[in-house]
A and B are shown apart, each in its own frame.
Chain A
Amino acid sequence: MEDSLLIKQFQEGNLKSYETLYKKYYKLLAVYAKQFVKDLHISEDITQDTFVMIYEKRSNIEIHTSFKSFMYTAVRNNCLNYLKKEAKMIDTPFAQNEPIIEEEDANTISNIELAEKLAKAINKLPRQNKEIFKLSRYRGLTNEEIATKLNLTKRTVETHISNALKKLRVDLLPIILFVLHFFYF
């Protein structure tokens, strides 16, 4: 369903429509919040509170951009508020003199959206490929550790990881190339 319709419905108090929007964007927003607060638990809490707050204010808000952009801004503001409060509590000056550069922020967002696609692509890998890749990338195990754990040779592990990376790169290549152009040309 179109976001615009869902927005209209949730602003009229339809919680079901709000749930659809939530489930569509929650992960993206929580990972985005983590770029500010560095801790996934805190960033999830901030994101959830932002969703509660927006719902309560639903009749007084006007969404001129997409719902996603609107929420990115709302979550970002709440993260910055959180960091300010935290800085006060532990009595260290909040580094406000590092303003958010819109261009950098746009890069962060495009990386997060790419990461979401990558996460989906990883789950589509063949079983052993996926397992080895996750141990390597998510758990931070060295190829030797994985080899011992799975009773494989180190070379097999390397081949698996290499194949997985290659496949993922091919799957996501058009997007990656775009990002590279953005950075280097």
Chain B
Amino acid sequence: MNKNYTHINDAHLIDYLQKRTTETENKQIENWMQVNEENRIQFENVKQFWKISFMAKDFEKIDTDTSWEKVAHKIENSTVPKVRKIDFSILWKVAASFILLLGLSIPFFISNNTTLTATTTKEYKLPDGTQLWLKKGSKLTYTNDFNAEKRDVKLTGEAYFKVAENKSKPFSITINNTTTTVLGTEFNLKADKTNKISLTLIEGSVKFSTDKTYEIIKPGETVSTQEDGTLTVNSTKNVNVDSWKTKIFQFNKTDLSKVIKNVANAYDTQLIIENENLLDCKLTATFNNQSLDMIVETLTLLYKFSVVKDGDMIRLINGRCAS
């Protein structure tokens, strides 16, 4: 290679970098580089290219797909004992035929329904993951095909629901002649002694319907049935609607009559203020998961009651409004 470069191109520069050029050629290239800035940049560019093209070669050599097979194999071998995949569809068929068989042979042995009866206020979890706080004395019934296609339950009494979201399987609750259909939400639903049904929505959206009419309500609203069969919707004034579950009370200049009603309801007891002058006293206080005795003690300190326990009933006698 002993010729004079009349024109320096990229290939020549590569030869130079690979030290395949002669002394004379080296000189020519070095001179060429000093002619102007443009040439120098071209050289630096080629140099950079020369460097990274070695790495580019490695990219060509690597076979990602084959290497992944090795990696996946190692991963599967090391994790097999921990989790075993179960084919639920087969399991379902087996279970279904088993239940069918049982159902045919001993029809009286198993009931088609599951009933939850709360002897004390208690939290339950339904098969679909819905959380439920059932108030003392309330009942919830669901059929064994619950969560197969639909999620239907029947309620008597009062319950707080935190419905697991599943848009393809609506959750509906029947209480007397009303049906509440939800997708995934939190609400309190009750039938009082006069069979008036009311539902207070905490979160989400709910369709509340009777056989005649329906309402879709928003969080913070309460819908109740009226004697004439219509529905009324109020924005929820009582922030303590779910206190029976949470045992958390927030009173803000609340009438004492209301306070004791809330507390009595939550602890399933009877509280009576005998001094009628005190019923309009205003209380601002927060009780956070305290015992009934503690709450009564606080009220006594504030209003100077005398307390008489009479079985399940607590009578608050005398007293005066706190200044």
A-side residues, CB < 8 A to B, are 13, 15, 18-19, 22-23, 26-27, 30-31, 34, 40, 44, 48, 51-52, 55-56, 111-112, 114-116, 118-119, 122, 134, 136-138, 142-143, 158-159, 161-162, 165-166, 168-169, 176, 179-180, 184
> Does B62 sit within 8 A of A, measured CB to CB?
yes
- Interchain CB contact under 8 A, B79 and A48: no
A162 to B52: give the CA distance in the assembly, Å: 17
Contacts of A137 in B (CB 8 A): 53-54, 56-57
Query: Contact flags (1/0) for B35-78 with A, using CB distance below 8 Å?
Result: 00000010011101101111111111110110110111011101
Q: Are A111 and B11 in contact, CB atoms less than 8 angstroms apart?
A: no
Instruction: From the candidates B46, B51, B71, name the one contacting A165 in the complex (CB within 8 A).
Output: B46
- Are the C-beta atoms of B53 and A166 separated by less than 8 Å? no
Cα–Cα, bound, A44→B52 (Å): 19
Note all chain A residues with C-beta closer than 8 A to B20.
Answer: 142
Is B234's CB within 8 Å of the partner chain A? no
Q: How far is the CB of B274 from chain A (nearest CB, A)?
A: 61
The answer to whether A118 touches B49 (Cβ under 8 A) is: yes
A13 CA to B79 CA in the complex, in Å?
10
- Would you list the 4 A-B pairs with minimal beta carbon distance, nearest first? A115-B55, A119-B59, A165-B10, A119-B56
CB contact under 8 A between A158 and B49, given known A31-B62, A115-B59? no
Residues in B with CB closer than 8 Å to A158 are 9, 11-12
Q: List 14 A-B contacts (CB under 8 A).
A: A27-B62, A44-B67, A52-B75, A52-B78, A56-B78, A56-B79, A111-B51, A111-B52, A115-B54, A118-B49, A137-B57, A169-B10, A169-B49, A180-B45
Query: B248 interface residue, CB < 8 Å from A?
Result: no
A57 to B235, CA, bound (A): 50
- Tell me which residues across on chain B come within 8 A of A15, comparing CB atoms: 72, 75-76
Interface residue B14 (Cβ < 8 Å from any Cβ of A):
yes
The answer to whether B57 and A161 have CB atoms under 8 Å apart is: no
- B83: interface (CB < 8 Å): yes
Interface of A is mostly: helix
Q: How far is the CA of A26 from the CA of B70 in the complex (A)?
A: 13
Is there an interface contact between B49 and A176, defined as CB atoms closer than 8 Å?
yes
Contacts of A122 in B (CB 8 A): 56
Contacts of A179 in B (CB 8 A): 48
Give the B interface residue count (CB, 8 A): 38
Task: Tell which of A30, A142, A166, A180 touches B10, judged by Cβ atoms closer than 8 Å.
Answer: A166
Question: Do A119 and B60 have beta carbons less than 8 Å apart?
Answer: yes
Q: Which residues in A have their C-beta under 8 angstroms from that of B192?
A: none
**In the complex, what's the smallest C-beta–C-beta distance from A84 to chain B, in angstroms?**
23
- B171–chain A nearest beta-carbon distance, Å: 26
**Chain A residues whose C-beta falls within 8 Å of the C-beta of B70 in the assembled complex:** 48
Min distance, Cβ B253 to any Cβ of chain A, angstroms: 47
CA–CA, A137 and B44, complex, Å:
17
Which residues of B sit under 8 angstroms from A166, Cβ to Cβ? 10
Given contacts A19-B68, A111-B55, A118-B53, contact A143 B48 (CB under 8 A): no
Chain A residue numbers with a CB within 8 Å of B52 are 111, 114-115, 118
Cβ of B53: which chain A residues have Cβ within 8 Å of it?
115, 118, 137
Instruction: For the complex, give the distance between the alpha carbons of A176 and B46 in Å.
Output: 10
A23-B57 CB under 8 A given contacts A55-B75, A56-B75, A161-B10: no
Contact residue among B12, B45, B57 (Cβ-Cβ distance under 8 Å from A138): B57
Contact A165 B49 (CB under 8 A): yes
Q: Is the CB of B45 within 8 A of A116?
A: no
Question: Considering the chains assembled together, what is the distance between the CA atoms of A52 and B75 in angstroms?
Answer: 6
Quick check: is B297 within 8 A (CB to CB) of the other chain? no
Question: Of A23, A40, A114, A143, which contacts B61 at CB under 8 A?
Answer: A40
Q: Determine whether the beta carbon of B14 is less than 8 Å from that of A165.
A: yes
Query: B15: CB under 8 A from chain A?
Result: yes
CA distance A159 to B12 in the complex (A): 10
Task: Please name all residues of chain A whose beta carbon is closer than 8 Å to the beta carbon of B9 when the two chains form the complex.
Answer: 158, 162
Chain A residues, Cβ within 8 Å of B71: 22, 48, 51-52
- Taking CB atoms, residues of chain A closer than 8 Å to B67 are 26, 30, 44, 48
A168 touches B49 (CB 8 A): yes
Collect the chain A residues with CB atoms within 8 Å of residue B54's CB. Answer: 115, 137
A184 to B48, CA, bound (A): 12
Candidates B14, B44, B51, B58; contact of A161 at CB < 8 Å: B14
Residues on the A chain within 8 Å of B59, using CB? 27, 31, 115-116, 119
* Contact B56 A115, beta carbon cutoff 8 Å: yes
Contacts A18-B75, A162-B10, A165-B46 known; list 9 others, CB within 8 Å. A19-B72, A31-B55, A51-B71, A115-B54, A118-B49, A159-B11, A169-B45, A179-B48, A184-B44
